[in-house]
Structure 1
Amino acid sequence: MKIRIPYFLAILITFFVWPVLLGGCASTGKKVEDISDTPSVSDDVPEEIKITEFILGAGDTIEIAVYRHDDLKRSIRIDTSGIITYPLVGDIKAAGLGILQFRDDIRAGLSKYIVNPQVSVNVTSVQSRKFSVLGEVKTPGIFSLESPTTFLEAMAKAGGFTIDAKQENVLLIRGGVNTTELVTLNLEEALKEGDLEQNGYVRKGDVIYVPATIIANVSRYAQHISKIIAPMLSLEQGYFIGQQIEAASGSKATSRTTSITVNPPSP
């Protein structure tokens, strides 16, 4: 038996559901600025620092070593001033600098006393830093940044991607008090190709949002609309069936029959 769709439901689908589907398809062409063209912005970080480089901050513990100079090996915690004290170099800024830039500054200070010093800097602990992972991950939430963490490692902390995740269009929201930067990350490429430009390091306060695919969005929207339409459709079906019973029996359906056919199915 064919079921008639009421006129008002056809209008609802035409003017509300279809434009959403078209809008979803059209929106795929829009992108936030690509990461390769977007400098990393922060109120306490030099602009030349790339997104792939870990930025030192207050509370971090770093280990500094100089080749063939074991007496210069130090494990130092960066205090709230952002400055550390190192032998032969004295006070030197650490917070807000990338590891490579900080290493070069140490090397420049030591070069006054040591010929061509070979310096290594490692981060052994990251304290008082948090970041958020939201959207299509299995366990979204706020996480502690206890050690240098890449974007893919952040995804692992959040339980990994869901089946509906749009891995090639992950949104990174980053910035200080006065500036906010939006960057599109292709973590699918980073995962498959090992693209370090896409798989940079998480910073304090970062928000990583994993969107759903267009197909997943459409499916969820359709389910939402279905929940709204189902009771109305059931009501119309019940009215139509009642008419058929009346026509077949030559009399009006009883109130008991009408109540059974009109009530919408339990969710």
Structure 2
Amino acid sequence: MTAKFRSTLLRMYLAVAALVACALPVSAQTASSYLIGPRDLVDIQVFQQPSLSAQARVQSDQSVFLPVIGNVTIGGMDEPSAARAIASALETGGVVRDAAVTVRVIEFASQRISVLGYVGSPGSYILDRPSTISDLLAKAGGATPDAGDKLVFTDRPVGAGKVERVELNIQDLLGGADASIDRPVSDGDTIFVPRAPVFYIYGEVRSPGTFRVEPGLTVEQALATAGGATELGKSNKIKRRDTQTGKLVSAELTDIVKGGDVFFLPQSLF
């Protein structure tokens, strides 16, 4: 085989590989910017060398074991960079001249993020592509009706030696008004959506129970949320449980309701 003919074949091989990549699902197409890590399964193809082509699991030391050349480090690289690293190892080891190699991640397992709290499907999710907080929130089914207005994002940058906790408004995040708050996520990060703050009200109200605390909610509005006072109750007699002493004290109708507040409307005969 002449060098010119071999060069032509190489170009054809790489062109076909590019066309195949375009035909792959979106998750596979976007994998080129995904950084390979331990436990990922990769498919390695060496042009005109079927005995050297293989599927291999990335080991804890970020390497894959390949016949003839042994371990090659590809962890922390994207697919094209991993292909170049393997091609270089084949050439340096004298196994193949002008090696043409393609690498494709076929099983993503190295990067996980937890989405917890009041979301549709809380749990651990594998990152198979570059993703943001809103991407993972959507993957987990979004916030439930009982969720609060904010979420807590815990960022654990690899090798940074520090953990950052950020509180974000969910509507601002999903609204897209400020794209900078929709931060990228990486392995080990956590998204937590807490329950919305609630208040409790019982006694002489028409619908006693637990209710969501909306921003700026007043005691008078809270009473209306519970259906208002019965014939035996009077709004201006409402009491709030003191969090320090546990005793019931008088509350003003203009007071602002806080999460965890407990209200009681006693009978009033006069």
Tell me which interval the TM-score lies in, with the shorter structure as reference length: 0.3 to 0.5
Compare the two structures and name the one with the higher helix fraction.
1
Compare the two structures and name the one with the higher strand fraction.
2
Q: Relative contact order (alpha carbons < 8 A, sep ≥ 6): 1 or 2 greater?
A: 1
Q: TM-score, normalised by structure 2?
A: 0.46
